[in-house]
Structure 1
Amino acid sequence: MKTVICGGSGFIGKALSSFWLNQGHEVIIIGRNLPTAKSSDFKLQYYTWDQFNAHPELLEGTDALVNLAGASLSQRWTSKGKEAIISSRMITVSNVAKLISALKQKPAVVVQASAVAIYGTSLVATFDETSPETVNDFPSSVVQKWETAADKISGVRLVKLRVSVVLGNDGGAFPMMRLPYKLGVGGRIGTGRQWMSWIHIDDIIRLIDFCVNTPSICGPVNASAPEPVTNDEFGRTVASVYHRPHWFPVPTFLMKGVLGELSLIILEGQRVIPVKALEHGFQYTYNTLKEALRELKDNS
């Protein structure tokens, strides 16, 4: 299989690239710049967007394209930061749409990254892929614009992968989330009642591969584990797995003071269920948070 990953140098992109290379697939990574070190794997190639804009025929015969590119939400949401978050997503999605339209032999599927933030936040509601979009803050507005732009990708099967919190040792939010517990000062954040939808890094990689290879899957797909937890449950599970106390509550006002508007990601959340993945027969390796955290601890 010939695959293309946009955003292949990021946390999820690196794991997906390794997964497909280990399966013997050809992987092409598109980015703004070429890496300084040349890959020793002949099945791995790097190109820039400028190269593809000039020569889209380089992607003829591609089986699947996965777009994970976008500036991290984990930065202070200044006016400049917000602009970078939005524009990085819009530009990349626009480039993908332009590239697909230029190909004579289009890939069978495009998997476009999105986020569960599109459902808005709630302490009581449960969301699945049929739930309506709710724009009530900056993250949800970003994701709505992201998905609207992705709808311009035509002529292929389109999967919108609505990503939750991805747990892994090599990137993402988890290393910082477990740090207070390693230091012995872990505890709930705010009320602790806010929901956290999560997925282990291995499962999201397998889910992307599953979506690529399951022709009946299209549209929104929640990339989350079947059992979301509250913030307090998350902390207690981290404390249990890492044999640390769960005792130091972090007040809401302190989080807002330190992180500003970015604190929304931590202080509010949503209970998301991956109905579409389960209905299509996807098997999670890590169904529960304790299983996922034990694996991460054993391999850290």
Structure 2
Amino acid sequence: MMTGRRKSVANRTSNHEETQMIVSITGATGFVGRRLVQRLHQDKYCVRVLTRSKSKAQLVFPVREFPGIVIAEEPDWKNCIEGSNAVVNLAGLPISTRWSSEVKKEIMESRINTTSKVVALINASQDDLRPLVLVSATAVGYYGSSETEVFDERSSSGNDYLAKVCREWEGSALKVDKNVRLARIRIGVVLGKEGGALAKMIPLFMMFAGGPLGSGNQWFSWIHLDDIVNLICEALSNPSYKGVINGTAPNPVRLKEMCEQMGNIMGRPSWLPVPDFALKAVLGEGASIVLEGQKVLPARAKELGFSFKYSYVKDALKAILSGES
């Protein structure tokens, strides 16, 4: 049964849209965002893309393939958020890059400023037009790094730079109106062919240069792109999804195992390690993302009965590298 608030949204749309859920998304042109928009569009959601560059978003989501999608630059975010049923906040500068003091500042500010703006717009919405749900991304970097500890949603935060970023990022989301259901999804390393860490590793293996990064003993808490998108979709519609939820697969692996599996599937050697200094030469401080790691378990997702399509890294890599997903 449609609530009064939902009716008020539907009354402002066409008859065709009355049964559609309206979702506004930041970070829609990023690696996860692109797949999420594709999925929501396919499932007949009404999607509003909140972007800083309309021209870039129009290239990623051409109107012939995505009819009906609304693309809005910042001055129009308010109108998009008001009347949406839900908001997904994925915005943030990619962290797997060379860190300078300027880049570190932008990594922090790109997340906190966008989240704060989105939360302020939600809170300022009229009561009957305010979104009911905010799904806000954060990252497993929240926990800090360890080769021995096991982290779940009840674990405390670390004390390094990325942990600080995640704490402040989540702190911005927590300021949302108390009547809005908030799901904070701490995302691990997302595996897919079109972006993220795997896209950078595949060329190394193709050149017979793939291997463990650093010692290879560091934990790699991963999730397949399809599973993180499914988790976000579930959080949009399922009222049980609130609070912190780790967006990681149930079986994290040590990085050397991940590299062995890639080498086996691609028919390439994976025994030659990429030394720490070489990685630091390319990524600077950003190398800490792969040289340090953490073993993060999705305890909450399992409690909620979420069904992972890919629980084991071998199956995830096979599907990605064979072009099935």
Normalized against structure 1, the TM-score is what?
0.95
Q: Report the CA distance between 1:51 and its aligned residue.
A: 1.8
Whether 1:49 and 2:63 are equivalent positions in the alignment is: no
> Which amino acid is 2:81 matched to?
L
Alignment of 1:116-135 (within 5 A): 116-135=140-159
Judge conservation of contact 2:201–2:210 (CA < 8 Å) in 1: no
SS at match of 1:141: helix
> What is the CA–CA distance in structure 1 between the aligned matches of 2:163 and 2:206, rounded to whole Å?
32
* Cα-to-partner distance string for 1:122-151 (whole Å, 9 max, x where unaligned): 00111110111112x221111111111111
Instruction: Report percent identity of matched pairs.
Output: 38
> What is the CA–CA distance in structure 2 between the aligned matches of 1:31 and 1:174, rounded to whole Å?
25
**What is residue 87 of structure 1 aligned with on the other side?**
109
> Which amino acid is 2:209 matched to?
V
Q: Report the CA distance between 1:57 and its aligned residue.
A: 4.1
Judge conservation of contact 1:126–1:272 (CA < 8 Å) in 2: yes
> What is the CA–CA distance in structure 2 between the aligned matches of 1:2 and 1:65, rounded to whole Å?
9
Normalized against structure 2, the TM-score is what?
0.88
> What is the CA–CA distance in structure 2 between the aligned matches of 1:59 and 1:261, rounded to whole Å?
36
**What is residue 263 of structure 2 aligned with on the other side?**
239
* Cα-to-partner distance string for 1:67-124 (whole Å, 9 max, x where unaligned): 0001111221111111111111111011111110121222121011100000010001
> What is the CA–CA distance in structure 2 between the aligned matches of 1:211 and 1:258, rounded to whole Å?
37
Runs of 4+ in 1 over 6 A off after TM superposition: none
Choose 5-14 or 147-156, whichever is displaced more.
147-156
**What is residue 9 of structure 2 aligned with on the other side?**
none
Whether 1:143 and 2:166 are equivalent positions in the alignment is: yes
SS at match of 1:220: strand
Name stretches of at least 5 consecutive residues in structure 1 with no aligned partner: none
Q: What RMSD over aligned residues (CA atoms) do the two structures have, in Å? A: 1.4
* Cα-to-partner distance string for 1:207-255 (whole Å, 9 max, x where unaligned): 1001111101211110010000001111101011111111211222332
Q: How many residues align?
A: 296
**What is residue 207 of structure 1 aligned with on the other side?**
231
SS at match of 1:121: coil
> Which amino acid is 1:232 matched to?
K
> What is the CA–CA distance in structure 2 between the aligned matches of 1:48 and 1:272, rounded to whole Å?
36
Whether 1:97 and 2:124 are equivalent positions in the alignment is: no
**What is residue 110 of structure 1 aligned with on the other side?**
134
Alignment of 1:1-300 (within 5 A): 1-35=21-55, 37=58, 39-40=63-64, 41-52=66-77, 56-104=78-126, 105-135=129-159, 137-154=160-177, 155-299=179-323
Judge conservation of contact 1:185–1:247 (CA < 8 Å) in 2: no
